[in-house]
Amino acid sequence: MGCFTFVKWLMLLFNLLILLGGSTLLAVGIWMSVDGGNFLQILGDLSGEASQLVNVGFFCIAIGGVLVLMGFLGCCGAHKESRCLLLLFFSIILVIFIAELAAGVVALAYSSFAEGILKAWATPALKKQYGTDPVVTKMWNSTMTQWRCCGFTNYTDFTGSRFTELNRGTYPPSCCLLSDITPCRLEDAEDSAIRGCFHHLLDSLKRNAYIVGGVAAGICALEIVAMVVSMYLYCHLDDNIS
């Protein structure tokens, strides 16, 4: 009896944590979707494969929303000692857990060739749209200024582009260290050796990888414990009633 009551309160505690974790995942998903959508606009038109990377944000929103619902459902099931709610909670958490594992495998698979996919579409967009499309030009200028980078890979993304044709062979100011004094020409861009924006994006992702991985691992651990506890309550409800 005492053990059952302890597990019941433990179930309430873990579901409260799942509720908070789901809220965090929901917020992260919204952030990823907003920033990812802006990044897609910067890159231009992407293929269906590349756009799947941004869909991870929407996946996080969906999973976060379901986790919030499941946390509430688990709390109600434990408090009311409802066998039906506990079984429903366990089943849905199990499905979510399997889906999260599958998403992690897909993310790892895409990360190995994400640079090749993005480069195949970002470089043509820079060559054709930068300097002619106001929206693309403004977003790339903002990105290059903020990160102090040049193009997607480096200055070679602008070689033979519409921008250089319209500006007598000069390159965007961000591609040169002294671009605020003199026009940025090919020799200046070569000597400056400004890195591309993808390298800065990759560095940023690496810096935050431990945070993202830690949050994901913590949520998965909570889900496993919650499933174990819910099954314990489900199997011992009759003993508690008697």
The answer on pLDDT for 47 being more than 70 is no
For 11-37, what is the mean pLDDT?
A: 75
| Model pTM above 0.95 | no
Distances in Å between the Cα of 11 and the Cα atoms of 21, 60, 64, 122 are 15, 24, 19, 48
| Lowest mean pLDDT segment, chosen from 28-32, 137-141, 149-153, 154-158 | 28-32
- Per-residue model confidence (pLDDT) at position 90: 84
Higher pLDDT, 159 or 120: 159
Q: Please give the structure tokens belonging to residue 69.
A: 């619902």
Other CB atoms within a 10 A radius of the CB of residue 211 amount to 10
- Per-residue model confidence (pLDDT) at position 49: 44
Confidence tier at 48 by pLDDT (50, 70, 90): very low
3-state secondary structure of 191: helix
Query: Can you give the residue ranges of every domain in the chain?
Result: 2-115+209-241, 129-197
Q: What is the pLDDT of residues 125-136, one digit of tens each?
A: 888 889 888 888
Other CB atoms within a 10 A radius of the CB of residue 169 amount to 11
Helices (H) and strands (E) in the chain, counts: 9, 0
Higher pLDDT, 226 or 224: 224
Q: Please give the structure tokens belonging to residue 93.
A: 């958490």
Angle between helices 83-111 and 114-129 in degrees, nearest 10: 60
d(CA 169, CA 22): 52
